Structure 1
Amino acid sequence: MSNLAVITKLIDFLKSSPTPFHAVDSMKKRLLSAGFCELKEGDAWQFEVGGKYFITRNNSSIIAYIHGKQIAEQGIHMVGAHTDSPCLKVKPNPVVNSQSYLQLGVEVYGGVLLAPWFDRDLSLAGRVNYLDSQGSRRSALVDFKKPIAIVPSLAIHLDREVNKSRSINPQTDIPPVLAQLASAEAGFDFKALLAGQLAAEGVADCASVLDYELSFYDTQPAALVGLQEQFFVGARLDNLLSCFVGLEAMLASGSDYAQILICNDHEEVGSLSACGAQGPMLRQFLERLIPDVELRNRVVDRSIMISADNAHGIHPNYADKHEQNHGPLLNKGPVIKVNANQRYATNSETSAYFRHLCQQVNAPVQAFVVRTDMACGSTIGPITAAEIGVKTLDVGMPTWGMHSIRETAGTTDMLDLIKVLQRHYSTR
Structure 2
Amino acid sequence: MERKNLWSSYSEEQLMELEKVSEKYRTCLDMGKTERECVRTAIALAKEAGYRDMKELIRNGERVKPNDKVYLEYMERAIVLFQAGTLPIEQGMNILGAHIDSPRIDVKQNPLYESGDLAYLDTHYYGGVKKYQWLALPLALHGVVVRKDGTRTDISIGERDDEPALVITDLLPHLGRLQREKNADKFIDGEQMDLLIGNRPLKDEKEDGVKKQILRILKDRYNMEEEDFLSAEFEIVPAGKARDCGLDQSMVLAYGQDDRVCAFTSLFAMLEEKEVTRTSCCLLIDKEEIGSVGASGMTSRFFENAVAEYIALNTDYNDLILRRTLANSKMLSSDVSAGFDPMYEEVYEKKNAAYLARGPVFNKYTGSGGKSGSNDANPEYIAQLRKIMEDAGVSFQTAELGRVDIGGGGTIAYLMAVYGMEVIDSGVAVLSMHAPWEVTSKADIYETVRCYEAFLKAEF
Q: Would you say 1:177 and 2:196 are equivalent positions?
A: yes
SS of residue paired to 1:318: helix
Match of 2:413 in 1: 381
Aligned-residue CA RMSD (Å): 2.4
Report the alpha carbon displacement of residue 330 of structure 1 after superposing the two structures with TM: 0.5
Which residue type is aligned with residue 179 of structure 1?
G
How far off its partner does 1:299 sit?
Answer: 2.7
Equivalent positions of 1:199-238 (< 5 A) are: 211-238=231-258
Structure 1: distance between partners of 2:118 and 2:147 = 27
Aligned partner of residue 284 in structure 1, secondary structure: helix
Task: Quickly say closer, same or farther: Cα 1:195–1:80, change in 2 above 3 A.
Answer: farther
The match for 2:54 is 39
Please give the secondary structure, in 2, of the residue aligned with 1:93: strand
Cα deviation, residue 237, structure 1: 0.2
TM-score (norm 1): 0.90
Q: Please name the residue that 1:394 is paired with.
A: 425
1:305-341 CA-partner distances (Å, limit 9, x unpaired): 1111110011111111012421211011111113344
| Shift in CA distance, 361/196, structure 1 to aligned 2, threshold 3 Å | farther
Percent identity, please: 22
2:4 paired residue number: none
**Which deviates more, 338-347 or 109-118?**
338-347
Residue pair 2:375, 2:417 contacting (<8 A) in 1 also: no
Q: SS at the partner of 2:177?
A: coil
- 1:218–1:158 distance in 2 versus 1, CA, 3 Å: same
Partner of 2:441: 410
Structure 1 residues 170, 383: closer, same or farther in 2, change over 3 A? farther
User: Which residue does the alignment assign to 2:260?
Assistant: 240
**Any conservation in 2 of the 1:130–1:210 contact (CA below 8 Å)?**
no
Give the corresponding residue for 1:299. Answer: 325
| Aligned partner letter, 1:289 | Y
Cα displacement string for residues 27-70 of structure 1 (whole angstroms, at most 9, x for unaligned residues): 11111111111123985663232211111111010001111111
Kindly provide the CA deviation profile for residues 268-313 of structure 1, in whole angstroms up to 9, marking residues without a partner as x: 1111222111110111122223322333333333310111111001
Aligned position for 1:256:
276
> How many residues are treated as equivalent by the alignment?
417
AA aligned to 1:400 is: L
Map 1:352-371 → 2, pairs under 5 A: 352-370=383-401, 371=403
Task: Please say if residues 165 and 239 of structure 2, whose CA atoms lie closer than 8 Å, have aligned partners that are also in contact.
Answer: no
Superposed counterparts of 1:99-110, under 5 Å: 99-110=116-127
Deviates more, 1:245-254 or 1:294-303: 294-303
The answer to which structure has the higher helix fraction is 2
Q: Secondary structure at the match of 2:408?
A: coil
Alpha carbons of 1:216 and 1:77: their partners in 2 closer, same or farther (altered >3 Å)? same
State which drifts further: 280-289 or 23-32. Answer: 280-289
1:318-329 alignment runs, 5 A limit: 318-329=344-355
User: What is the aligned partner in structure 2 of residue 55 from structure 1?
Assistant: 72
Residue in 2 aligned with 1:265? 286
Conservation of the 8 A alpha-carbon contact between 1:121 and 1:147: no
Structure 1, unmatched stretches of 5+, are none
Whole-angstrom distance in 2 between the partners of 1:213 and 1:37: 28
> Residue 130 of structure 1 contacts residue 209 of structure 1 at CA under 8 Å; is this kept in 2?
no
Residue type matched to 2:404 in 1?
Answer: T
Q: Is the 8 A contact 2:276 2:456 kept in 1?
A: no
TM-score w.r.t. the length of structure 2 is 0.84
Contact 1:84 1:266 in 2 (8 A): yes
- In structure 2, the residue matched to 1:188 is 212
Mark the CA change 1:5 to 1:274 in structure 2 (over 3 Å): closer, same or farther.
Answer: same
Indicate how the Cα distance of structure 1 residues 32 and 401 shifts in structure 2: closer, same or farther if over 3 A, else same. same
Counterpart Cα distance in 1 of 2:261 and 2:307: 26
Shift of residue 195, structure 1, vs aligned partner:
5.0
Q: Distance in 2 between matches of 1:193 and 1:342?
A: 47
| 1:284 aligns to 2:305 (yes or no) | yes
Change (3 A) 1:268 1:108: same
Query: What's the CA shift string for 1:179-238, capped at 9, x where partnerless?
Result: 114377333376665554447xxx9xxx97762111011112111111222221100001
Report SS of the residue matched to 2:50. Answer: coil
Inter-partner Cα distance in structure 2 for 1:147 and 1:71? 54
Deviation, 1:255, is: 3.1
Aligned to 2:38: 23
Structure 1 residue 348 and structure 2 residue 379: aligned? yes
Indicate conservation of the 8 Å contact 1:108/1:170, yes or no.
no
Q: Distance in 1 between matches of 2:214 and 2:54?
A: 35
Offset of 1:148 from its aligned partner? 3.1
Q: Amino acid of the residue matched to residue 349 of structure 2?
A: E
Structure 2 counterpart of 1:143: 156
> Match of 1:6?
21
| SS at 1:40 equivalent | helix
User: Which is worse superposed, 170-179 or 3-12?
Assistant: 170-179
Could you tell me which residue of structure 2 aligns to residue 333 of structure 1? 359
Question: For the Cα contact (< 8 Å) 1:94–1:106, is it kept in 2?
Answer: yes
Do the aligned residues in 2 keep the contact of 1:95 with 1:188 (CA within 8 Å)?
no
Mark the runs of 5 or more structure 2 residues left unpaired by the alignment. Answer: 1-15, 312-316, 366-370
For residues 283 and 171 of structure 2, the distance between their equivalents in structure 1, rounded to whole angstroms, comes to 42
Q: CA deviation at 1:353?
A: 2.8
- Contact residue 92 and residue 325 of structure 2 kept, 8 A: yes
Distance across 1 between alignment mates of 2:332 and 2:191: 41
Which residue of 1 is the match for residue 12 of structure 2?
A: none
**CA–CA distance in structure 2, aligned partners of residues 294 and 361 of structure 1:** 34
Is the 8 Å Cα contact of residues 69 and 82 (structure 2) preserved in structure 1?
A: yes
